[in-house]
Structure 1
Amino acid sequence: MIFIHGTPSHSFEWRNVAPRIEAAGHRTIVYDLLGYGASERPSSRDTSVAAQTELLEHLLAKLGLDRVAIVAHDIGGAIGQRFAVAHPGRVRRLMLMDTVSYDSWPSPTWRKIIDEHLDEYRNLTQNAFDALLTRQLEMTVTDERRMAGPVLDAYLAPHRSALGRSSFFEHQVRHYDAKYTEEISGELDRLTMPVRILWGAADQWQPLDYALRLSEDIPTAELVVVPDAGHFVMEDDPARVTREIVDFLAGPSNPLGDNHIRNS
Structure 2
Amino acid sequence: MTSKLIVLTECFIHRSSTHEYSIRWTSIGSDNSPPLIFVHGTPWSSYVWQRYVEALSLRHKIYIFDNPGFGESPGGRPLQAPTSTDDKISEFDSSLAGQAEAFAALYHSWNFTSDRLPHIVAHDNGGLITLRANLLHSCRYASLCLVDVVAVRPFGSPFFRLVAQNSSVFTSIPDTIFQGIVRAYIQDASFRPLPKHVEDTLVKPWIAGGSQGQVAFIRQMVQADQRHAEEVEGRYAEVGSAMPVKVIWGKDDRWIPVERAEKLASMVGATEVVLIGEAGHLIMFDQPERLATEISIWLMEASR
Higher relative contact order (CA 8 A, sep 6+): 1
Look up the equivalent residue of 1:119 and give its one-letter code.
S
Q: 1:139 aligns with which of 188, 199, 207?
A: 188
Higher helix proportion: 1
Give the distance between the partners of 1:81 and 1:123, measured in 2 at CA.
Answer: 35
Q: Sequence identity of aligned pairs in percent?
A: 29
Give the distance between the partners of 2:41 and 2:73, measured in 1 at CA.
Answer: 14
- Aligned pairs, how many? 249
Look up the equivalent residue of 1:241 and give its one-letter code.
L
Give the distance between the partners of 2:303 and 2:199, measured in 1 at CA.
Answer: 38
- Give yes or no for contact 2:68–2:74 (8 Å, CA) kept in 1: yes
Counterparts in 2 of 1:97 and 1:252: CA distance versus 1, 3 Å:
closer
Cα RMSD over matched residues?
1.8
Runs of 5+ unmatched residues, structure 1: 255-264
Which residue number corresponds to residue 164 of structure 1? Answer: 213
Instruction: Select between 99-108 and 178-187 the one with higher mean Cα deviation.
Output: 99-108
Which residue number corresponds to residue 32 of structure 1? Answer: 66
Pair 1:47 & 2:97 matched: no
- Give yes or no for contact 2:161–2:221 (8 Å, CA) kept in 1: no
Give the distance between the partners of 2:255 and 2:235, measured in 1 at CA.
Answer: 24
Which residue number corresponds to residue 87 of structure 2? Answer: none
Look up the equivalent residue of 2:272 and give its one-letter code.
E
Which residue number corresponds to residue 232 of structure 2? Answer: 184
Residues 18-167 of structure 1 aligned to structure 2 (within 5 Å): 18-23=53-58, 25-44=59-78, 45-66=92-113, 67-86=117-136, 90-115=140-165, 117-144=166-193, 147-161=194-208, 164-167=213-216
Counterparts in 2 of 1:109 and 1:27: CA distance versus 1, 3 Å:
same
Deviation, structure 1 residue 22? 0.8
Runs of 5+ unmatched residues, structure 2: 1-35, 79-91
TM-score (norm: length of structure 1): 0.88
- Give yes or no for contact 1:105–1:177 (8 Å, CA) kept in 2: no
Which residue number corresponds to residue 257 of structure 1? Answer: none
Higher strand proportion: 2
Q: 2:221 aligns with which of 153, 164, 173?
A: 173
Q: 2:254 aligns with which of 181, 191, 204?
A: 204
Give the secondary structure class of the aligned counterpart of 2:112.
Answer: coil
Deviation, structure 1 residue 186? 0.8
TM-score (norm: length of structure 2): 0.77
